[in-house]
Chains A and B, each alone.
Chain A
Amino acid sequence: AQTVTQSQPEMSVQEAETVTLSCTYDTSESNYYLFWYKQPPSRQMILVIRQEAYKQQNATENRFSVNFQKAAKSFSLKISDSQLGDTAMYFCAFMNPGGGGSQGNLIFGKGTKLSVKP
C-alpha cells in the first residue's frame, strides 16, 4: 500500500525568508502524481503545486517550488519569500492514476503546521 510521510509536525519561519517542508512516500508504481495542498483556518484545501512522476523537471508555481527526487521517493516543498498568508497546514498527497481499487484517490500525509512570523 502507498504511504505518505511528513516528518515535521510543525515549523515556523520569519516573514520574507525561505522554508522547506519535507515529504517522503512509498510506492511500487512508476507512474503517479504528487501534490501539495494548503489548508488555512478557513478549512478549504487549496492546491499549491502538482508534480507528474514521469516529468524530471521540478514543478514551480510563483514562490512555491518542489524538489522531486524519484529514486529517493522524496517530494519537498520550498516556499520562498514567506508571507503571513502562507500560515496554514500543508499536506503532501500521492495519487495513483492506474487501474484497480486505488485509482484516483489521494493519499495524504499527516500534515505540517507552518507558522509565518512577522
Chain B
Amino acid sequence: KAGVTQTPRYLIKTRGQQVTLSCSPISGHRSVSWYQQTPGQGLQFLFEYFSETQRNKGNFPGRFSGRQFSNSRSEMNVSTLELGDSALYLCASSPGQALRYGYTFGSGTRLTVV
C-alpha cells in the first residue's frame, strides 16, 4: 500500500512569488492535513480537508490556502512568499472517521524562500 506522497521534495522560490505543493494521501483516506515545521515554531497545524471541504484551519494568514480534489489529493498554495515561509511542509492523511488512529505523514516538501 503506497504511503503519503508529497511533491516536490525540495523547492526554492523568490520572495513575493507564489508556490503550490501537492499531496497524495493513502488510498481510501479522505482526510488530508497540512503542517508547517520550522526550527523556531516547531510543528504547526495549517488546515485539514475532508471530502473536498475545509474542516479545520490553523492560525495562519490568508496567504496560505488549500484545496482537496474528488480523488482526495490535496494542494496547498502560499502566495506572496516571505522569507519566514521557509519551512518543511508536511502532509498527513487519515481515514477521516477514525481519529484515534492518528495520521500517516509524508516526507514533506522543503521550501526555501530567498
Contacts and interface: CB of A to CB of B under 8 A. Distances in A.
Interface of A: 33, 35, 37, 42-47, 50, 52, 91, 93, 95, 97, 101-111
B102 A42 contact: no
A110 B37 CA distance: 10
A104 to B, nearest CB: 5
Contact of B102 (A43, A47, A109, A110): A47
B45 A101 contact: no
A78 B90 CA distance: 26
Contacts of B103: 47, 106
B62 interface: no
Interface of B: 31, 33, 35, 42-43, 45, 48, 55-58, 88, 90, 92, 99-108, 110
Contacts of A102: 56
B106 A44 contact: yes
A44 B107 contact: yes
Contacts, number: 61
Contacts of B58: 105
A97 B104 CA distance: 17
Nearest to B104: A47
A35, A101, A105, A111: most-surrounded residue (chain B CB, <10 A)? A105
A50 B43 CA distance: 18
B76 to A, nearest CB: 15
A70 to B, nearest CB: 16
A105 B33 contact: yes
B92 A45 contact: yes
